[in-house]
Amino acid sequence: MKKVIVLFALVSGLLSAQAQTSVKLYNGKAPGSESWTWTEATTEPGTFGMRFVYNVVEPELLLYPAPKDKANGTSVIVAPGGAFHILSIDSEGIEVAQWLNSKGITAFVLKYRLVHSLTNDPFQELMPLMGDSKKLDEINAPVVVMAKDDGIAAMKYVKQHVADFGLDPKKIGFMGFSAGGTLTMSVMMSAPQELKPNFAAPIYLYKNAVIGNEMPKESTPMFIAVATDDQLGFAPHSIELYNQWYGAKQPVELHVYDKGGHGFGMRKKNTSSDNWTVDFENWLRVMGLL
């Protein structure tokens, strides 16, 4: 009877692990936001056909293990964008993870802490701030620090669980879109050397809010992409980052697409930015990550 009970417990635990789709990054309340009492929510697809997550209080990783018949040991933490007020959870998160899975890469979509939204329409709350980057930066500043900490906690989690996911500990990447690109580079420049990503892909990042100034000591390849017609004027941010990485003699590749605007993500817009995943896949292959 005891053997049956033990066997049942083992099988139950295995099934539970396989069914797990997310993991909290902290035990208990996240440090720095212990007093937050609001509740995370997700909007319905709106005008742009996209859902937005808002009011994230408990940072977590959505787990997307690579299919066993394709898994190559590479992993990527994916940080969606949304000006630190919302997360474009599909086009810049889940759909990216699914695409990475199709290439044999295990993905972890990071839901990091955000500025508190006072209504159930966070997109409309955010829009008036988009034309005043100084004010937006002031509002965001405390949360950018928390988001950076969430990113470092995500790196720590993945590094501690490489065996569980069958990952190569030297092929853990970090990529992000817009604010997620800011977070990506904040992790890169702030994390202890042992928790810095092995490669990174900031896509149309906002560089002005990046935290930290400690370059990686190891060779750290970087893939950068942006559109020339980015409505927020972020193309120079990517060029500046390219020059920084190039100046440090770090491996770097920059793609500046003529058309695509801001926030193209996984959306097909019949512009040159539609090819960014093709270019990224080629870069991953050349870097020995596929």
Query: Of 6, 18, 288, which Cα lies nearest the Cα of 168?
Result: 288
pLDDT higher than threshold 80 for residue 48: no
Each residue's pLDDT tens digit, 209-225: 999 999 999 999 999 99
Each residue's pLDDT tens digit, 218-271: 999 999 999 999 999 999 999 999 999 999 999 999 999 999 999 999 999 999
Going along the chain from its start, the domains and CATH numbers come out as: 21-286 (3.40.50.1820)
> Band of the pLDDT at 11, cuts 50, 70, 90?
very low
Q: Which is more confident, 43 or 50?
A: 43
pLDDT higher than threshold 90 for residue 18: no
Give this prediction's pTM. Answer: 0.92
Each residue's pLDDT tens digit, 51-89: 999 999 999 999 999 999 999 999 999 999 999 999 999
Dist. CA 24–CA 28, nearest whole Å: 9
Tokens standing for residue 12 = 């139950």
Asked if residues 216 and 188 have their Cβ atoms less than 8 Å apart, the reply is yes
Asked if residues 252 and 216 have their Cβ atoms less than 8 Å apart, the reply is no
Q: Give me the helix-helix angle, 179-190 and 133-160, nearest 10°.
A: 60
- 215, exposed or middle or buried, with CB in 10 Å at 0-12, 13-18, 19+? middle
**Three-state helix/strand/coil letters over the chain:** CHHHHHHHHHHHHHHHHHHCCEEECCCCCCCCCCCCCCCCEECCCCCCCCCCEECCCCCEEEEECCCCCCCCCCEEEEECCCCCCEECCHHHHHHHHHHHHHCCCEEEEEECCCCCCCCCCHHHHHHHHCCCHHHHHHHHHHHHHHHHHHHHHHHHHHHHCHHHHCCCCCCEEEEEECHHHHHHHHHHHHCCHHHCCCEEEEECCCCCCCCCCCCCCCCCCEEEEEECCCCCCCHHHHHHHHHHHHHCCCCEEEEEECCCCCCCCCCCCCCHHHHHHHHHHHHHHHCCCC
